[in-house]
Structures are given as structure tokens and as C-alpha cells.
Amino acid sequence: MSKPLLVSEQQAEASKDHRFGKFSLDRIDAAILRELSKDARLPRAELSRRVGLSTPSVADRVRRLEDVGVIRGYHADIDPACLGYGLALLIRARPLPGQMQNMIEAIRSTPQIVSCDRVSGEDCFVARAHVHDVIEMEAVIDRIVPFGATNSSVVQSSPVENRIEQLISLARK
């Protein structure tokens, strides 16, 4: 069996049990996830107060959610535009025959590309990149083009951003 090309082994292993609904959330787990999705730096005592459970019980639940891979990490929400990366791009890419691995390596080694998904349909990959200007945009695309076809779009706005809270409600059984 071949390994997924863009998913780390740790992510693949951690997601095995809950990827297909094998991990279910109760209302307390869902409340913990909702609160942490709003503020991952929330002290455990305050989190405990908000969800109505003792601090040690909340700590145990958070640790369990981390262990099974539901909570993958804690991150700062950084605005690329504030760092001077004023253009966000979506790059759709389709490798030439025999160039899949080279295209993946080109995508992985391009620091302006912040995420990439392997997708079904006409294209194989959809990558998101942040660049300073159109000159840098062209340079990013030029790193991928030797290995296949690309089609790029500049993101004008993002009317729907990270809506993980809605998934938490749907996942609760």
C-alpha cells in the first residue's frame, strides 16, 4: 500500500481512528474544542469554569483529544498581509506523466506555498501561496511549471474563513 504523498506519517497515524467516525465527541468534548478554537491559550482553570468540569478532568480530556489527533496543535493566527505578503494565490496544478514526485518536491520546497491539497478532478493539487507582488507570483508559478500545467487565481477576499466550530457541532453524537 502506498503512503499518501502530502500527509505526514504522524497525521495519517493519528487520524486513523477518528477519520471515519470512530471517535465521537460528547457535549463536554465539543464545548472544550469550541472554547480552544476561539482561544487556544485559555488557562485550564478558565476552560474548566466555562465547560463546567473540574480542572483535572478537563486536562485529561484535552490530553485525550491530543493523543487521538483531534487536537493537532496550538497555533498563532498570523496575517500574511501584515508581513507584507499582500497577494494570496490559489494554484491548481496537474503534473506531466512521470513528474508527480518532482511537482510535489517543487511545491514543498517553495516557502511561499503555505498549504497544498491533493484533489480529485481535472487538477491533482490545489496550493495556497502568499506573495508580495505579481513578480514574486510569477517566480512561484515558474518553480512548478517545469513539472506540469498550472492555473492560478488571486484571492480577492475570503468570505468564509476557518469554520471549525461548525464541524465540532456536526461531529458531536
What are the average pLDDT values for consecutive 10-residue runs of the chain, which has 173 residues?
49 49 83 94 96 97 95 92 96 98 98 97 96 98 98 94 78 65
Q: Which domain holds residue 22?
A: 9-75
Please tell me the predicted confidence (pLDDT) of residue 172: 63
Q: Are residues 94 and 149 in the same domain?
A: yes
Q: Using CA atoms, how far apart are residues 112 and 142, in angstroms rounded to an integer?
A: 13
**Cβ(92)–Cβ(150) under 8 Å?**
yes
d(CA 124, CA 93): 6
Sign (positive or negative) of CA dihedral 26, 27, 33, 36: negative
Are 68 and 29 members of one domain? yes
Measured CA to CA, the distance from residue 34 to residue 49 in angstroms comes to 14
Give the model's pLDDT for residue 17. Answer: 47
User: Cβ-count burial of 5 within 10 angstroms (0-12 exposed, 13-18 middle, 19+ buried)?
Assistant: middle
Q: How many CB atoms lie within 10 A of CB 72?
A: 12
Query: Looking at the DSSP assignment, which residues form a beta bridge with residue 91?
Result: 127, 152
DSSP strand pairing (125-131 vs 87-95) = antiparallel
Together in a domain, 71 and 93:
no
Q: How many domains does the chain have?
A: 2
Residue 56: what pLDDT?
97
Same structural domain, 87 and 70:
no
The vertex-136 CA angle with 131 and 140, nearest 5°, equals 85
Q: Is residue 67 part of a domain?
A: yes
CATH number of domain containing 63 = 1.10.10.10
